[in-house]
Amino acid sequence: MSSTPRIYVRSLKLSDGEQFLKQVRQSRRIHRPWVQVPQTQSAFKDYVKEMNTEDDLAFLVIQKESNEMVGIVELRDIFLGDFKNSYIIYFGFVGLIGQGLMREAVQRVIKIAFSRLKLHRLEANIQPNNQASKALVQACGFQKEGFSPKFLKKGGQWRDHERWALVKG
């Protein structure tokens, strides 16, 4: 577990399923078309299994004051060796958005990635119209590196993405 004065992040666990799925249901309108999240108990179990490996990690973000789930920050496709890179993915839940809590969580996971995991670089691939996500990575020091047409399939369609990166300073 790692924390700031307002939030803490920890590994996602199977016991988080009921509350996680409740938050996902309440947050559908803010997730589409940006991110696809588990919608069922079975999908959640698969997600937890997938996101607790050497290659993929999911951090649950909890607000300290209310003990409510704020969102998830993932490190995907963690490459070690000479590359030392990972993709960072995140999504928040309604109710606590707009308070800077996800920014704190992303910053905390960046510290984990660079210090504990010894990564050199993080990449965020963001759909061009996702202004909130672009503002978040900019606030965390990411720089726009490029544009990738039809980069990821989301909601059944291949979507363009901007590539943002943060290199350990």
Residues 75-94 pLDDT 10s: 999 999 999 999 999 999 88
38 lies in which domain range?
A: 2-125
Residue 146 lies in a domain: no
Does residue 14 lie in a domain region? Answer: yes
- Are 25 and 40 in contact by the 8 Å Cβ rule? The answer is no
d(Cα 114, Cα 48) in Å, to the nearest integer? 23
Decide if 48 is inside a domain. Answer: yes
pTM of the model: 0.93
134 lies in some domain: no
Predicted local confidence at residue 169, as pLDDT: 80
Q: Rounded CA gap, 98 and 118, in Å? A: 30
Task: Answer whether residue 161 shows pLDDT above 70.
Answer: yes
Could you give the number of structural domains in the chain?
Answer: 1
Q: How far apart are CA 106 and CA 5, in angstroms?
A: 14
Q: Is 98 exposed, middle or buried (0-12, 13-18, 19+ CB in 10 A)?
A: exposed
Q: Are 75 and 56 in contact (CB under 8 A)?
A: yes
Burial class (CB in 10 A: 0-12, 13-18, 19+), 143: exposed
Residue 152 pLDDT: 85
pLDDT at 33 over 70: no
* pLDDT tens digits, 100-136: 999 999 999 999 999 999 999 999 999 999 999 999 9
pLDDT on residue 153: 84
Residue 98, domain member (yes or no): yes
Q: What is the pLDDT of residue 160?
A: 93
Six-digit token string for 112 = 């984990």
Q: So what's the pLDDT on residue 27?
A: 75
CATH number for 22: 3.40.630.30
Nearest to 139 by CA among 164, 113, 117: 164
pLDDT of residue 13: 96
> What gap in Å lies between CA 53 and CA 45, rounded to an integer?
14
Tell me, yes or no, whether 148 lies in a domain. no
Average pLDDT of the residues of the chain: 92
Mean of pLDDT values over 20-29:
86
At residue 31, the pLDDT reads 59
